[in-house]
Structure 1
Amino acid sequence: MQYIPASLLEITVSLDGSGDYTSIQSAIDAIPPDREYPTTIYIQAGIYNEKLHIEKPYVRLIGNSDQPTVITYNDYARKTFPDGSLYHTFYSYTVFVGSDDFSVEHVTFINTAGAGEQVGQALAVYVDSDRAVFRHCRFIGQQDTLFTGPLPPQPIDRGTFGGPREGAPRRKQRQYYKHCYIEGNVDFIFGSATAVFEQCEIFARKRALLSQVSVNPEATEQSSIHGWLTAASTPEDVKYGYVFIDCQLTSDAPAHSFYLGRPWRNYAKVAFVRCDIGEHIHPEGWHNWNKTEAESSVIYKEYGNQGAGASREQRVSWSSLLDRTEVEEYTVARILAGEDSWLPEAGS
């Protein structure tokens, strides 16, 4: 067996200069390309103002479990490059993860760009990775906080998506989030991956709504909606999209002002299993994004939920309740197995 020096297996980053590097990106850049074994980067507590790009395989980031380890940046979709072109959504990330077998613990990811028409989408994390694991992490933003790749086949409103994975082959990707906190308002968990969120808190934050001044009754009714938790674009041939297991759905927004999700693309798949759902969730539960054709293809499921927003009495007819036999298929092991029988390592 090849001997691997500890210095190649573990790296420490500290803002005060006491570690191997003072920035996270410099530590990542120091990892040899195409490495076939894990490299652990220990990140000491502090606020790291960095826009990270990670494409080295088997990277493991570990933050400080006692004091916050924060990675923050403020790019946004309406920002322009020197040539005047827009960043659009997929250049706005604080952290981009484009390598497989990535894992991270005890790190907070923030996009501080804010909200509003002059900002638009602003990703905290863009995860285009298979077998990615996040534990005890925090994702904080407003619109489009967490993107779980891959990209859909093509954009709806322009010729290209832009961003680091424009034109890349689409792969079936699996991601696991446990004991995480995810905050945002508009479509703030979105994308095409199969992803399990287990024992996470999904916090829907209220937002200023300019349309509240409208005198149009229909517009006024719509103005009461602050956002949507999910916007899945699950491929048609993939069985599972987003599955939330034993999660808490919390908010500072008014009652009935959020939907559980809406389909970014047809065939979107989302399930909430044994979750505590707050009163901020609209009684109808799900929105069709004004695409009636999507109603016949989406798979929106619920099972064993509780809380003020869990009642299914007024749920839309095109969502459904899992029965006891079906819910046995909604386990971490079965959802994430894939063709290689992957199961995230046991951990709190």
Structure 2
Amino acid sequence: MKYLLLLGLNLLMAITSVAKQKYDFVVAQNGSGNFKTVQEAINAVPDFRKKITTIFIKNGTYREKLTLPTSKTLVTFIGEDVKKTILTFDDSAQKKNQFGEELGTTGSASFYIFANDFTAENITFANSAGPVGQAVAVRIDGDRVFFQNCRFLGNQDTLYTYGENSRQYYKNCYIEGTVDFIFGWSTAFFEDCQIFCKQTGFVTAAATMEGAKFGYVFKNCTITGSAIENSFYLGRPWRPHAQTVFIQCQLGKQINPEGWHNWDKPKAEKLAFYAEYQNTGPGANPETRVKWSKQLTDEEAKEYTREKVLGDWTPGTLYTAPPR
């Protein structure tokens, strides 16, 4: 009996030791971790650390307006449960600051990601302001940002892919919203994601820079929602050179047969690149799409792999800059 007790104690100590080694910091609202708030954990990360700092966030709703500064590189968030680990705030564009000025779209964000090499798993990111206009859940400036099994909740302007030179990868994520709820300048690859359309609106509003090789690419994603039939467009061009491509996606009845909208910008019809390839479902109607959109050939579709879109960055690995 004594031997079994000793064996059990040693096993427990070993498990505890491994758990401690796995995470650098633990955030828990009940005080059982290193910090009670997520921002405190971010602040504790050494500036420009050369190794990954892993922050484990226990279940709870953390009502915080968060900022990950440029100096906090190589940070990884891991949530305990994607539906129970929630980072949220309720600012909106029309809300006033202490000087009586409107926050604006950028100022409404619940979480600002300025640093490079940020990763998040099993976390819900939300803006809980409700249907009050622009209200951003996450704004991303940094390069090489990877979200896996995460949720993004909001209405208008939920996910702001802001950085002009930012590459982002979304794997097995859930993103919901109404008007332009995935928008911005960045290059972003969405794979095996669920895109949920609420009310009426536009899934994307890309602002791709002129000369950029890629904008948004959706691969093997499902477009569904609570919106009525034909009430959503796949995208409209926030900036004239917008690029958005849907490849082998399941498109629900919410998608309008025309597919794409020019945002009352006739010039954008010549400059924007909106394309599809082998989409299925009631919302996939190649024959009714606007004439200025494109159906890719087999050969053209080969250019839209994750490797080609993201370049020299492989998500989930430590990035090594190419030699000069």
Normalization by structure 2: what TM-score? 0.89
Q: The residue matched to 1:33 in structure 2 has which SS? A: coil
The equivalent position to 1:343 in structure 2, one of 310, 314, 317, is 314
Q: CA–CA distance in 1 between the matches of 2:193 and 2:54?
A: 24
1:69 matches 2:85 = yes
The equivalent position to 1:149 in structure 2, one of 143, 147, 162, is 162
C-alpha contact (below 8 Å) 1:133/1:177 kept by paired residues:
yes
1:66–1:294 CA distance, 2 compared to 1 (3 A): closer
Q: CA–CA distance in 2 between the matches of 1:67 and 1:257?
A: 28
C-alpha contact (below 8 Å) 1:9/1:38 kept by paired residues:
no
Q: CA–CA distance in 2 between the matches of 1:20 and 1:321?
A: 52
1:66–1:315 CA distance, 2 compared to 1 (3 A): closer
Amino acid at match of 2:68: I
The equivalent position to 1:33 in structure 2, one of 40, 47, 50, is 47
Partner of 2:181: 188
C-alpha contact (below 8 Å) 2:177/2:197 kept by paired residues:
yes
Q: CA–CA distance in 1 between the matches of 2:35 and 2:116?
A: 24
Q: CA–CA distance in 2 between the matches of 1:141 and 1:102?
A: 21
Q: CA–CA distance in 1 between the matches of 2:82 and 2:65?
A: 24
Task: State the Cα distance separating 1:313 from its structure 2 match.
Answer: 1.3
1:306 matches 2:280 = yes
Q: CA–CA distance in 1 between the matches of 2:190 and 2:287?
A: 25
Task: State the Cα distance separating 1:82 from its structure 2 match.
Answer: 1.6
Q: CA–CA distance in 2 between the matches of 1:317 and 1:8?
A: 53
Q: CA–CA distance in 2 between the matches of 1:259 and 1:66?
A: 28
Partner of 1:229: 203
Q: CA–CA distance in 2 between the matches of 1:111 and 1:131?
A: 23
The equivalent position to 1:254 in structure 2, one of 205, 223, 228, is 228
The equivalent position to 1:244 in structure 2, one of 211, 215, 218, is 218
Task: State the Cα distance separating 1:9 from its structure 2 match.
Answer: 6.5
Partner of 2:138: 125
Q: The residue matched to 1:292 in structure 2 has which SS? A: coil
Q: CA–CA distance in 2 between the matches of 1:141 and 1:66?
A: 16
Task: State the Cα distance separating 1:67 from its structure 2 match.
Answer: 5.8
The equivalent position to 1:334 in structure 2, one of 287, 308, 321, is 308
Runs of 4+ in 1 over 3 A off after TM superposition: 6-9
Identity across matched positions, percent: 47
Task: State the Cα distance separating 1:7 from its structure 2 match.
Answer: 7.8
1:194-228 residue CA offsets vs partner (Å, 9 max, x unmatched): 0000000000011xxxxxxxxxxxxxxxxxxx100
Partner of 1:140: 153
Q: CA–CA distance in 1 between the matches of 2:60 and 2:90?
A: 17
Q: CA–CA distance in 1 between the matches of 2:280 and 2:82?
A: 32
Partner of 2:106: 90
Partner of 1:295: 269
The equivalent position to 1:319 in structure 2, one of 293, 300, 309, is 293
Structure (1 or 2) with the larger CA radius of gyration: 2
Unaligned runs of 5+ in 2: 1-19, 318-324
Amino acid at match of 2:149: H
Partner of 1:213: none
Partner of 1:223: none
C-alpha contact (below 8 Å) 1:12/1:44 kept by paired residues:
yes
Task: State the Cα distance separating 1:304 from its structure 2 match.
Answer: 0.7
Unaligned runs of 5+ in 1: 1-5, 151-170, 207-225
1:101 matches 2:114 = no
Q: CA–CA distance in 2 between the matches of 1:101 and 1:149?
A: 15
Task: State the Cα distance separating 1:269 from its structure 2 match.
Answer: 0.2
1:8–1:182 CA distance, 2 compared to 1 (3 A): closer
The equivalent position to 1:283 in structure 2, one of 246, 250, 257, is 257
1:24-65 residue CA offsets vs partner (Å, 9 max, x unmatched): 000101112122211000000111111110011111000013
Q: CA–CA distance in 2 between the matches of 1:315 and 1:258?
A: 13
Q: The residue matched to 1:259 in structure 2 has which SS? A: strand
Normalization by structure 1: what TM-score? 0.83
1:203 matches 2:216 = no
1:260–1:22 CA distance, 2 compared to 1 (3 A): same
Q: The residue matched to 1:186 in structure 2 has which SS? A: strand
Partner of 1:212: none
